[in-house]
Structure formats: C-alpha cells, structure tokens
Amino acid sequence: MNNGKKFGFTTTILHSDRQKPIEHGSLHKPIHTAVAYSYRDARELAQVFQGKKPGYRYGRQGNPTINALEDKITRMEDGMATLCFSTGMAAIGAVVQALLRNGDHVVSSSFLFGNTNSLWQTVNLQGMPVSFVDATRVDNVERAITSATRMVFVETIANPRTQIADLARIGELCRERGILYVVDNTMTSPYLFRPKQVGASLVLNALTKSIGGHGNALGGSLTDTGLFDWTRYPNIADNYKRFAPAQWGIAQLRAKALRDFGGALGPEAAHHLAVGSETMALRIERESASALALANMLNADERVAAVYYPGLPSHPQHRLATELFRAYGGLFSFELNTGIDCFDYLNRLQLAISASNLGDTRTLVIPVAHTIYHEMGPERRASMGIAESLIRVSVGIEDTEDLLDDFRQALEQ
C-alpha cells in the first residue's frame, strides 16, 4: 500500500492499521488493555520516560489501540498528529487546560453545541474572557479580537440551527494575526469537510457522533493540522521546546491536558470507534440523501413554519456549504406552525426516536429548548436563534422512504 498512491477516503481508513505491523497478522488493531509497559531493563524504561526512546509509559498518556485510532483520524483529517480523549467535551477542555493562561481572551462563535457554550461560561469565570460573536461574518470576529486574543473557536455547521461559520475568511484572519484557529468538525466530519483546507490549526471531532456512528462509545479527538506556527504562541512551556516546533502544541496537549487532567479514551471505546469509522462515508452519504429529502418534504408543507438545513437553497449559507462540503450532512432542524404541539408531533413519530445524541445509525429527534438547551434560559436561546418549538433531527441510515412516511404520517394525524 505504500507506493505513494493516494487512496480514497474509505480505502485509506480500512487499510490504516496495516501501515504499521499489526501483531500476529491481525487485520484489526487488537484491544490492548495493559495500563503499564515494561522494557528490557530499568535504564530503557527511563529512556522511554525521558522521550529519548519511543514507547508507552502509562495508559493515561497513550496505548497502541488508541494510537492506531489516532493515526486513522490523522489520515482522515490530512493532519500532522492526533490525540484522543474520553469524550468530545474532554477534547475541548484539553484545549483550555493546556493552551490558555489567565488573562487570555477567546473569540467563539455564538452558535454552539450547548455544552460547549456552558464550558465557555466556566472558562470566563476562571479568568479567561470569552467573546461570543456571530461567526457567519468574519468582520464580527475581527472586531472582537484584542491583543490578548489567543484563540478563535467555531463549529463548521452549528448544532442545532445549522448556521455555517465564514470558515475560510476566519482562517485567513487567524493566520494574519497568528491566532490559533480551532474548528469543531463534528457536524461535518472529515468525510464532508477537512478544516485544514480553510487554515484550521486544531481540528476537534466528537468521535461519539458520525465517526463512531453507532451510539455505542464516547470519544473525542484533536488533530494538529501542522499549519500553525507554534513559535508564535506565547504559552508553550520551555519543557516542550526541546522538540521540533511543529510538535510543540501536541507535546504540551499530551502532557498538560491528557497526562495532568486524565481524560483518556478507553481502549475498548477506541476499538468501537475505529470499527465504526470504517463505514462512515457510506453512512453519511445515506444520511445526507435522506436529510435532504426530509428537509424538502417538510419545507413544502404548510404545517411547517421553518426548516433549517444547509442543503435548502433558502438557507443563508447554502452557497458556502455547496462550495465547501461534499454533501450537506444528516442534521436539520425545523419548527412546526403554532397550534401544533412539538411534543405531540414527536410522540406520533414511530421510527424516529426521541433521544439526545446525533450521528447514530438510527434517526433521533429532540425538542432542543426543553432538553439540551434548557439550562441556558430563554434569552440566550433566542440570541442563538433557537425557538421554543424547535425540533432537531439527526437522520440515521433507515430507508429513505420509511423516514419520509414516518415524518408525513405524524403531520397528518
């Protein structure tokens, strides 16, 4: 496989583990459960600890099963290196713990996954002010930047209202100013979009969602694209400057976040996520096609007040989505006309399941204002464009006709 030829997305994932020898000729990287590792003698152990020899030290900082998944994600993102964490939130937390210091300023999109919004509120209280801006326009981001700004954080397609950040222009702005550009790629996944192409420094993926794809394991990852010049970042400790500058960020993240805060991914979860990732492209193709069909059907129905999906020409960033993404993804949201209770509608659905999570093989629906966005209150919800009756749909891989029938019968009852 190593004749220099570039393979397609799925081929690359399927044959990723084999790029390094796999024990016993196994076709999957096995699940390694050992927490500690021994070497030829005590001196060699010391050399591994001092980074003078490659090897594993202790399970919290890495393990062969996790490394195989990290390599796979690096290939998916066309990155330089990846670190895995126990959840997507642990990966975002790692960015804060390892890379921000008291007084540093963060500019974040205001259209965010609810728990990320909540995390930024905490970070704010801890002495690192966060400015929320409408990141669909680069000038809003630019206006918020101060001399203390270290990081700009955006999601590709925002969950749940599907606003799309001005990804490429924000990338240019961050490069000019030497600011770290962190892109949460969960909603698009590396199959639909590689944030490296718009200049992202670090790419975050909640592996729990489309990459794992089966709702059976939690995980998160951070990929260093290799584009950021870490010599311009003031918060790198001298300890990590003994490596080549390209490695500084990952080295500090591994030690200061993974080792010191301990949000390590379990090897069993890593195995589930790695196997799930093999079918990601196939699942996302199906989910995107069904989501487009459902969004079109609901959009044409007079009982539906609004549909938010980047695949609809009426979506404000439809052209941008068409330019940047391979397809429009499996997530959309909609509002019913007043007079139709969103709970009654959800209860009439027979296939789509009322549940949190997204990127599952099954279609999941949720009344967002009353569940995942309940804690933030009506004012903040309104500022994020989240109506009280908004329903989020994460489309699964059921047959498209069955889904169309289900959403139609629930309207007609």
The footprint of ligand PLP (CB under 6 A) covers: 87-89, 113, 116, 155, 159, 184, 186-187, 206, 208-209, 218, 220
Task: Report in angstroms how near the CB of residue 241 gets to ligand PLP at its nearest.
Answer: 31
Nearest to 269 by CA among 396, 73, 87, 57: 87
Task: Report in angstroms how near the CB of residue 331 gets to ligand PLP at its nearest.
Answer: 9
Task: Report in angstroms how near the CB of residue 115 gets to ligand PLP at its nearest.
Answer: 6
Nearer to ligand PLP, 201 or 210 (CB): 210
Distance CA 285, CA 150 (A): 36
Nearer to ligand PLP, 141 or 358 (CB): 358
Task: Report in angstroms how near the CB of residue 145 gets to ligand PLP at its nearest.
Answer: 23
Distance CA 57, CA 46 (A): 10
Task: Report in angstroms how near the CB of residue 352 gets to ligand PLP at its nearest.
Answer: 18
Beta bridge partners of 393: 332, 365
3-state secondary structure of 188: coil
Nearer to ligand PLP, 61 or 115 (CB): 115
Task: Report in angstroms how near the CB of residue 351 gets to ligand PLP at its nearest.
Answer: 22
Strand-strand pairing, 331-336 and 391-394: antiparallel
Distance CA 40, CA 38 (A): 7
Confirm if 180 and 174 have CB atoms less than 8 A apart: yes
Confirm if 307 and 328 have CB atoms less than 8 A apart: no
Cis peptide before 64 (omega within 30 of 0): no
Nearer to ligand PLP, 206 or 368 (CB): 206
Nearer to ligand PLP, 56 or 276 (CB): 276
CA distances from 159 to 163, 314, 343, 359 (A): 8, 18, 20, 12
Nearer to ligand PLP, 209 or 254 (CB): 209
Nearer to ligand PLP, 64 or 359 (CB): 359
Give the residue at shortest CB distance from ligand PLP: 88
Task: Report in angstroms how near the CB of residue 408 gets to ligand PLP at its nearest.
Answer: 27
Element (H, E) at 118: helix 114-125
Confirm if 187 and 155 have CB atoms less than 8 A apart: yes
Strand-strand pairing, 364-367 and 391-394: antiparallel
Task: Report in angstroms how near the CB of residue 385 gets to ligand PLP at its nearest.
Answer: 16
Confirm if 59 and 34 have CB atoms less than 8 A apart: yes
Tokens for 55, please give them.
């090897």
Task: Report in angstroms how near the CB of residue 313 gets to ligand PLP at its nearest.
Answer: 25
Nearer to ligand PLP, 265 or 352 (CB): 265
Contacts of 114 (CB under 8 A, 6+ apart): 372, 373, 375, 376
Nearer to ligand PLP, 88 or 310 (CB): 88
CA distances from 342 to 189, 291, 301 (A): 29, 19, 16
Distance CA 171, CA 202 (A): 11
Report residue 284: phi and psi, to 5°: -70, -35
